[in-house]
Amino acid sequence: MSQTAAEPLKFAYWVPNVSGGLVISSIEQRTSWDIDYNRKLAQIAEASGFDYALSQIRFTAGYGADSQHESVSFSHALLAATEKLRVIAAVLPGPWHPALLAKQIATISQLTNGRVDVNVVSGWFRGEFAAIGEPWLDHDERYRRSEEFIRAIRGIWTEESFNLRGDFYRFNDYAVKPKPIGQPQVFQGGSSRAARDMAARVSDWYFTNGNTPEGLRAQVDDIRTKEKTFGKSWRTKVGINSFGIVRETEQEAKAVLNEIIEKAIPQAVQGFHHEVQNAGNASPEREGNWAKSTLEDLVQYNDGFRSNLIGTPEQVAERIIGLKRAGADLILLGFLHFQEEVEYFGKHVLPLVRELEANEAQASIAAE
């Protein structure tokens, strides 16, 4: 059976635990980063068919985001308010030591029936590291540390007594008790050569910025080749970011995109552009997350417009299937008006996606 027919796509939404919304624009965004709004949003998402919520980690203000709730504690609060939803807590090696994270997640897993996962990010915001006195490693060194971090947390969760003599971390017969319930899934964010190699060696999930199906396919092919080279025994799943603007007509949806861009906050977008030169674009081969982003793309922090989920429910469902054919296992979504649009998406887009997936499955069986 083809990849498209094999498994239903998963859906995730960005948790707005950072102020200012997900676009650097003065357009109205009916959203909030407070806990009451977020609890209700998580409940709406769960009822609307979303599988995951992804929190963000930021330590300081910058580029349209003044205030931020910490991701692990915030994720726990959302898990406590829901029953089925999995919540992915974003963490940064450096500020987090793997012993602390492994222990925190083991406890949260125990308290929430094993619904917590982690997104290990490697850092793009140099000013944030400076503000908290954390050394700023080179791009590829950050990934070497992240890889060791992932090996450490997985080892702590799975082995009775964990030992590691690494370049960044050391463990001596360390035993976490209790262990998590089931295995927390390890996601990672980033698109550079180093990010793809790390995915092909250790991660369960690879999250990448918004992209076209062709752009996504090139990354997935690369990861599949590298998995073989490295002898990885499981398939890395792939999640792609997108910014959903789904409206009754295509014109309406496009008008919203135009308004977001017209009302972009130039100074903040320029500042963000400058900052990400230090991150994605600074990787040695220049294939990082923001290497190809235009200023318009950067109005959405993670190139979400490039995935083009902007149009009618039918158009968006078709394009989601296009991303699935290119190798996506999960679609990550941000919205302007989170609660309203998560619900609309669940009602009007998800059933169409499921219908298209069922058709593809039937066609694939018929062809066998």
Ligand X SMILES: Cc1cc2nc3c(=O)[nH]c(=O)nc-3n(C[C@H](O)[C@H](O)[C@H](O)COP(=O)(O)O)c2cc1C
Site string for ligand X, 88-107 (x = CB under 6 A): --x-x---------------
Instruction: Fill in the DSSP letter of residue 54.
Output: E
Which residues have a Cβ under 8 Å from the Cβ of 295 and sit 6 or more positions away?
Answer: 264, 269, 270, 273
* 203 part of the interface to ligand X, by CB under 6 A: no
265-324 residues in contact with ligand X (CB under 6 A) are 279-280, 283, 288-289, 302
DSSP 138: -
CB of 190 to ligand X, least distance (A): 3
Residue span 110-149 as binding mask against ligand X, x where in contact by CB under 6 A, dash where not: -----------xxxxx-------------x----------
Q: Identify any residues that bridge with 189 across adjacent strands, giving them in sequence order.
A: 207
- Are residues 246 and 103 in contact, defined by beta-carbon separation less than 8 angstroms? no
**CA 108 to chain centroid:** 20
Number of residues that bind ligand X (CB under 6 A): 28
| The binder of ligand X chosen from 31, 209, 236, 293 (CB under 6 A) | 209
Cβ at position 122, least distance to ligand X in Å: 4
Phi/psi of residue 234, each to 5°? -135, 160
* Two tokens, residue 34: 């407070």
Residue 184's closest CA among 94, 86, 91?
86
Q: Which is nearer to ligand X, 82 or 241 (CB)?
A: 241
Q: 64, 155, 184, 189: which one contacts ligand X (CB under 6 A)? A: 189
Q: Closest CB to ligand X among 342 and 356?
A: 342
- 219 forms part of the interface with ligand X (CB under 6 A): no
Q: By the 8 A CB rule, do 58 and 18 touch?
A: yes
Place of tokens 């897993």: 109
Smaller CB separation from ligand X, 22 or 79: 22
Which residues from 21-60 bind ligand X, rule CB under 6 A?
Answer: 56-58
CB of 175 to ligand X, least distance (A): 30
**Is residue 190 near ligand X by the rule CB under 6 A?**
yes
Q: Which is nearer to ligand X, 50 or 125 (CB)?
A: 125
- Nearby residues of 51 by Cβ (< 8 Å), 6 or more positions away: 10, 11, 12, 85, 86, 330
Cα 333 from Cα 65, distance rounded (Å) = 18
Tokens matching residue 266: 């130039």
Residue number, 241 or 339, with CB nearest to ligand X: 241
In degrees and rounded to multiples of 5, residue 72 shows phi and psi of -70, -45
Q: How many CB atoms lie within 10 A of CB 53?
A: 27
For residue 66, the minimal CB distance to ligand X (Å) is 16
Q: Which is nearer to ligand X, 139 or 226 (CB)?
A: 139
State the residues that interact with ligand X by CB under 6 A: 56-58, 90, 92, 121-125, 139, 189-192, 194-195, 207-209, 241, 279-280, 283, 288-289, 302, 332
